Structure 1
């Protein structure tokens, strides 16, 4: 389930598509848990604590990668805004600069929204994971997902 995608901040729609692909694990968390947690008849052949621990690590890694990617692109957008502000200060009548400033500010707002979406997804995934795996795998750090 692990996904390795390179994140490009230049094209926001492409960036969003990459995020969607990386969010697949969150969208399919219930299916993943149902397929790895054995029923009573298979508990002797499959160790649910190991599978829950492995899934926990996958989820944690992908959440960290997505959050890092979003924050990186947010920082890139902030840097662009600072550059454009300096350029607009020297040439306040330049319409192209003003349009670029609005475009980058809009991208920054969208990236902030993606961070909010990320937090909602983490909470949802964490709740579903804990409901299914809490009796098999006790995470030493309760806030670690």
Structure 2
């Protein structure tokens, strides 16, 4: 799985979740990956099991690191938006639309971060 773009717009939470789902493919198919990586007795002499296991491990490690970077990047982006909105809110306490937008962004950071995707 290729690493996601560093310019991902994290505002669309559904899109963010879909990207994470796609990036989890290697984890979701781990049984299949192991079955195709570890040779059966009849193929033991034809495939270097040690090398293929190392390659699978490397793929898993890269996928996990890529997802972690994506999640941390989106947390940082959303936190920055929250900070900006908080400053705007201090200047305009009566603006209900601004308050609603601030609460929406705060919810993204605090309650809806998909930690289970690590």
- The whole-number CA distance in structure 2 between the counterparts of 1:19 and 1:8 is 13
**Residue of structure 2 in register with 1:110 after alignment:** 112
Number of residue pairs matched by the alignment: 115
**Are 1:93 and 2:105 matched, yes or no?**
no
- The whole-number CA distance in structure 2 between the counterparts of 1:46 and 1:60 is 22
TM-superposed deviation, 1:118 = 2.8
- The whole-number CA distance in structure 1 between the counterparts of 2:59 and 2:35 is 16
- The whole-number CA distance in structure 2 between the counterparts of 1:73 and 1:4 is 14
- Once the two structures are superposed, residues 49-85 of structure 1 have per-residue CA deviations (whole angstroms, 9 ceiling, x without a partner) of 0100001111100100001110110011111111111
SS in 1 for 2:93: coil
Scaled by the length of structure 1, the TM-score of the pair is 0.75
TM-superposed deviation, 1:3 = 3.6
- The whole-number CA distance in structure 1 between the counterparts of 2:112 and 2:11 is 13
Where do 5+ consecutive residues of structure 1 fail to align?
Answer: 120-145
Quickly say closer, same or farther: Cα 1:5–1:72, change in 2 above 3 A.
Answer: closer
**Residue of structure 1 in register with 2:25 after alignment:** 24
TM-superposed deviation, 1:107 = 1.2
**Residue of structure 2 in register with 1:57 after alignment:** 58
> Which 4+ stretches in 1 moved above 4 angstroms?
none
RMSD over equivalenced CA pairs, Å:
1.2
Scaled by the length of structure 2, the TM-score of the pair is 0.91
SS in 2 for 1:92: coil
> Any conservation in 2 of the 1:8–1:14 contact (CA below 8 Å)?
no
SS in 1 for 2:74: helix
